[in-house]
Structure 1
Amino acid sequence: MKNTNYIILLVSLFFCMSCAKDGGFYDQQIKSVEYNGTVYEYLKSQPGVFDSLIQVIDRVGLQEILNDSAITLFAPSNQSFRLAIENLNNTRKLAEQPIEFLSSIQYEHLDTMASQYIIRGVLPTDSMQRQDGIAMRDFKYNYPMHAKLHLTSSSGYQGGGPTLIDFSDTKRSQFYRNWVTTSTASINIKTSNGIVHVVNQDHVFGFNAFVSRLTYIPPPPNLFVTVGGTYSVSNENSGGPNAVEASKYVFDGNPETKYLYGGIPGDFWLQVQFAEPQVANAYTLTSANDDPNRDPTDWRLQGSQDGSTWVALDSKVSEVFASRFQLRVFRFANTTAYKYYRINFMRLRSGNVFQLADWSMNIEER
């Protein structure tokens, strides 16, 4: 009997110790590290970690913001810059272009990309605990970013691991699927003027725009700008020609505006009439700000001398715009000057609501 009581006591102690040790979840505490100095001074105090970031900050003149303003910095490490530069130079090498360095990359691109990581206001993790996270703006250009807390898994428990921040470039889109997101490695480093959250080492500086922006080839000259014309569409926005998303905005060259129309498939077209016939051998289409299901996929381009008899110049089927505000250039063989150009849209990615930020006709010297 004594042995039985002893075994029961041991088993009870074992279960008590197990519960005390585990508790059914990972008891992660979001701890803050305090640094006696500014955000910029903190970066300087970490040699071998943020050298590339400091080089960029110094080059584009962001030191004052990091020293004097109330900010939150999502700090990419040297590894983030190394990945970005390697990706860029691999692409440039294939295009037989000279390699780039942080010291030589175009100032304007570095400035806007670096500014995305410097957020207005002091935002510790407590401020990001809403279910949908928190919308943020970069300090210098007011560009929309987003942050949200999430729990990782640990020891078999879903959401029982350490807390991290999902830090996102929203691409000015309300749809999560269009965002580019990275995570933090460490969080809540308090300085005298702000908070530093360190971004994971596998993050590529510039999100997904570093290579594309630095290998960008501008489209050929836009005849809508250099020549001008009279513009028309087969169907106007339901709000009329002065609506917020009226057809006039598809000709204005501004990707922030768009033309929206619900009613295709069917006979649906955009048209330009030049005062004098013009030779065009390229055109551009720019995707609008939100729902990619509204993007056109099938279309044909035509030219005419009188607006009645049309000649086929180009056609596309099953085209896809990879991102929002994406400008795509389409080239075609043509040496004839036409007074009218018309683009007919036959199919959308899904549904029957059409949108497009811009269309242009262009001339490329060959």
Structure 2
Amino acid sequence: MMENILKILLAGLIFLSSCKRDDYYVDGGVANPVFNGTVLEYLDSHPQLDTIGQLVRLAGLEDNFTADELTFFSPSDVNIKMLIGRVNYQGTDPGWMGNRANQQLYNLGLDTIQTLADVDSAIWRKYLERYMFHGKHTLSDYPQIDFSVLNTFGGQNYYAYNNTVSNIGVVFHDAVTDEGKPTESRLKYMGYRQLYISYIPNVSIPENWIDTPVASSDIQPSNGVVHVLDFTKRGFGFDPQEVIDDIIQSKR
């Protein structure tokens, strides 16, 4: 009798645990995804994103972020500080190493960047638009992607605001127990799900993707959806040196 009761309790706990998997997650924690304000107001209200809000205004995209229905894969303020060279953070992206705009401008004898407005607004606009997509799209709207078997689970290509192309998909991680132990068990695709965006510089070279994981997904302001990217994995614009080359060219 006691054994049956224990089995029922265990089944109930498993059921409750499985239900929670469908809740909204941010960095492993449950959070309310709804924000009472526009996409731009959401950026302004978060210290790690308010510099991105400033760039939106400098780029002349304020109307898009307040009136359009859009999905924005947001970089963070750290990405901008790294681009200019005001913080010394080394992430896993090779672009972190040596890609400091001010250092390169100084070496070339060109004016360095003292404020964000010192960069041509067209440059900010060009690279912000790579992260902007028409319509509201949460994680559940995107197809599965498995980078090891793209022919089977290949995500899907989407056009950004400036008609650049990115592949967007959801990685279904494995559910693993006792990892690294003799008793390890693994359930394929049964673990947590994580959104990825992969910028494709040249669609004729499909393997040349610049992929970036999302750290916090499905944030829902009144006029769109925000997915915040993992700032440690990729620099601003997906290719920081390309951004810096444009800045250098604009100052010659």
The alignment's TM-score, normalised by the length of structure 2, stands at 0.70
Mapped partners of 2:19, 2:193: distance in 1? 10
Q: How does 1:284-303 map to 2 (within 5 A)?
A: none
Structure 2 CA distance for aligned equivalents of residues 94 and 19 of structure 1: 65
Identity %: 20
Answer yes or no: is 1:108 the counterpart of 2:101.
Answer: no
Q: Which has the higher strand share?
A: 1
Contact 2:165-2:203 within 8 A present in 1 as well = no
Shift of 1:184: 0.7
Counterparts of residues 23-34 of structure 1 (less than 5 Å)? 28-29=21-22, 31=24, 33-34=33-34
Unaligned runs of 5+ residues in structure 1 are 1-5, 219-366
- Comparing 156-165 with 51-60, greater Cα deviation is found at 156-165
Query: Match for 1:212: what amino acid?
Result: D
Q: Distance in 1 between matches of 2:130 and 2:213?
A: 15
2:89 paired residue number: none
Equivalence for 1:226: none
1:133 match? 155
Q: Secondary structure at the match of 1:42?
A: helix
State yes or no: 1:117 paired with 2:131.
yes
Q: Structure 1: how far apart are the matches of 2:67 and 2:84?
A: 30
**2:197 is equivalent to residue 204 of structure 1:** no
Q: Which residue number in structure 1 is paired with residue 37 of structure 2? A: 37
CA RMSD of aligned residues (A): 3.4
Q: In proportion to residue count, which structure has more helix? A: 2
Alignment-derived partner of residue 99 in structure 1: 112
Aligned counterpart, 1:215: 248
CA separation of 1:177/1:191 partners in 2, compared to 1, >3 Å: closer, same or farther?
Answer: same
3-state SS, counterpart of residue 56 of structure 1: helix
Shift of residue 99 of structure 1? Answer: 2.3
Q: Match of 2:28?
A: none
Aligned to 1:190: 220
- TM-score scaled by structure 1? 0.49
Higher relative contact order (CA closer than 8 Å, sequence separation 6+)? 2
- CA shift in 2, pair 1:135/1:98, >3 Å: same
Quote the offset at 1:196 in angstroms: 0.7
- Give unpaired runs (5+ residues) of structure 2: 25-31, 86-99, 145-152, 180-185
* Higher gyration radius (CA): 1
Q: Contact between 1:27 and 1:160, CA under 8 Å: does it hold in 2? A: no
Query: Distance in 2 between the 1:56 and 1:138 partners?
Result: 18
Amino acid at match of 1:162: Y
Matched to 2:35, the amino acid is Y
After the TM superposition, which residues 76-95 of structure 1 pair with which residues of structure 2 at under 5 Å, given as runs?
A: 76-86=75-85, 87-95=100-108
